Amino acid sequence: MSLINQSATDLLAAMQAGSVRAVDVCQAFLDQIQQHDTTVRSFLQVDSDAALAAAAAVDSRRDAGEPLGALAGLPVAVKDLLCTEGEKTTCGSKMLEHFVAPYDATAIRKLKAADAVIIGRTNMDEFAMGSSTENSAFGTTTNPWDAAHAPGGSSGGAAACVAGSMAPLSVGTDTGGSIRQPAAFCGVTGMKPTYGRVSRFGLVAFASSLDQIGPLARTAADTALLLQTLAGHDPQDATSANLPVDRYTEALEQPLAGLRLGVVQEHLGDGVDSEVAAATQEALQVYQKLGASIQDISLPHSQYGIATYYIIAPSEASSNLARYDSVHYGYRCDEKAVAAEVREEREALLAAGQEDAARQVDSNLVRMFRKSRSEGFGAEVKRRIMLGAYALSAGYYDAYYLKALKVRRLIRNDYDAAFEQVDLIVGPTTPTAAFKLGEKLDDPLAMYLGDLFTVTANLAGLPAISLPCGLSSNGLPIGLQLQAPPFEETRLLRAAHMFQRATDWHTKSPEL
């Protein structure tokens, strides 16, 4: 088996045993990127020289018998919204096209401390707002299984590079399904940890009460390996949970006998593709053979998840993105052109005798703010800023934002009640397999409804994982989602790992 087709766990073991060197592993993935990423376009930045130098340093330290980190020599791709000192961090936006981060995000710092080889930065929907990676200012990522289809989003590049064997591990973010949905579309494993399990320090924020950093990989075992490095308390993040981190990789082999799985029947009803529903039912049968019990449960307020999410998330986005004023950093329009435009408007009004109107014309500074934000942000980001600003505005705050927060509490209450009956909740990750590129760009509501089964875990702050469970009739992956109570990542990973021990969906890969 070639290096690029091996799991991260196997590659790490081989490097530790001395049967393969980190430089060779790194070069193999760089070669795959060079050969195939012109089509997939999963990466925005790849620094081959820096990656090979980092891998060579690991080899030298290993040869010298020096202690090494838990990911020593493993290539890791990083979604391009985690600040990395001295590197561009664009968030897929023209607004930050030339922004160079002055410090490392905690997740990046932990990867470096674990001696991971950061191989590149992956494409994404602008500021993580999207479900198809079509909203990037720097081009669209395609699905490695079929270039005519979307890889999902917003972590589409992070999922596509793993599916295309261009990185064994990648780091994404999940605000409403942005790890799990692309993992499902690309046939890989992706986890959103509990809110607060992984530090958000250095993550460029979309919606601060929903964003969470998490791993994508081929297998649950690889996912556990990466999460072990990322997880943990960080005093630089006020929302970081000060709780011990389990040894995720050590609990994977525990049998599932006695595990209680809950199925929300509404998640297998209208709106769910028949092939997705059938694959989910087959997965449930696998779990029953492994010793788990299945029972129906209800999440009555989950039907309001999309409406609740698309009030809260845009509201937080409009607040977070207000900082991009083109003064301290970020895209700035042509100031000379703006000054000339303002002058011409005033002179035209004065010539027409409209002195009051002339005094009302924007100042050069205000016009620069407006024009820079208009040119720097893409259409989807503007849409969400406007939605959020409206929901937060005087006269509408109580009717929209405050009410959404109350429904969010009811959604969490539903989960709490369900987890008194079951250990995990299981169902499809998405209602359909990957849709075609361009298919939903002109219908935002249809795009948003694709997150129907994922947004509620973010609203409730719960951990959830997507793993491959089938292929559609046209050869596209189908994802199975497991959700757990807060900080029960070990339970999720164990259930995912045992499913992958009994099936081979996670071993299938596309022919690029």
**Residue of 42, 79, 318, 472 with catalytic role:** 79
Report the C-alpha gap between 233 and 230 in whole angstroms. 10
Query: What distance, in Å, lies between the first and last C-alpha atoms of the chain?
Result: 17
**Residue of 154, 302, 326, 509 with catalytic role:** 154
Report the C-alpha gap between 340 and 245 in whole angstroms. 58
Report the C-alpha gap between 96 and 80 in whole angstroms. 11
Class of domain 3-254: alpha beta
Task: Tell me the pLDDT tens digit for each residue of 317-360.
Answer: 999 999 998 888 899 999 999 899 989 989 898 888 998 888 88
- Report whether 422 contacts 295 (CB < 8 A): yes
pTM: 0.96
Q: Which phi and psi (to 5°) does residue 174 adopt?
A: -135, 115
Please name the residues in contact with 66: beta carbons below 8 A apart, sequence gap of 6 or more.
Answer: none
Strand ranges across the sheet with 260-264:
43-45, 117-122, 75-79, 169-174, 212-217, 189-192, 464-471, 477-483, 424-428, 260-264, 293-297
Please name the residues in contact with 27: beta carbons below 8 A apart, sequence gap of 6 or more.
Answer: 52
For the cut 80, the answer to whether the pLDDT of residue 1 exceeds it is no
- Report whether 111 contacts 127 (CB < 8 A): no
Residue 79 catalytic? yes
Is residue 147 packed enough to be buried (19+ CB in 10 Å), middle (13-18) or exposed (0-12)?
middle
Task: Tell me the pLDDT tens digit for each residue of 394-451.
Answer: 999 999 999 999 999 999 999 999 999 999 999 999 999 999 999 999 898 889 989 9
Task: Tell me the pLDDT tens digit for each residue of 83-103.
Answer: 999 999 999 999 999 999 999
What average pLDDT does this structure show over 468-482? Answer: 98
Least confident of 182-186, 247-251, 268-272: 268-272
Cis before 315? omega within 30: no
Residue 199 catalytic? no
**Average pLDDT of the residues of the chain:** 96
Query: At 313, is the pLDDT very low, low, confident or very high (cuts 50, 70, 90)?
Result: very high
Report the C-alpha gap between 465 and 415 in whole angstroms. 16
* CA proximity to 211, closest of 224, 226, 225, 196: 196
If you compute the radius of gyration of the chain from its CA atoms, what whole number of angstroms results? 23
Task: Tell me the pLDDT tens digit for each residue of 2-15.
Answer: 999 999 999 999 99
**Residue of 178, 315, 466, 472 with catalytic role:** 178
Token output for 10: 């196997």
CA–centroid distance for 479 within its chain: 15
Task: Tell me the pLDDT tens digit for each residue of 16-61.
Answer: 999 999 999 999 999 999 999 999 999 999 999 999 999 999 999 9
Report pLDDT for 266.
79
Residue 154 catalytic? yes
Burial string for 431-448 (b: 16+ CB within 10 Å, else e) reads: bbbbbebebbbeebeebb
For the cut 90, the answer to whether the pLDDT of residue 296 exceeds it is yes
Query: At 114, is the pLDDT very low, low, confident or very high (cuts 50, 70, 90)?
Result: very high
Is residue 219 packed enough to be buried (19+ CB in 10 Å), middle (13-18) or exposed (0-12)?
buried
Report pLDDT for 340.
92
The structural domains of the chain, with segments of one domain joined by +, span 3-254, 325-376
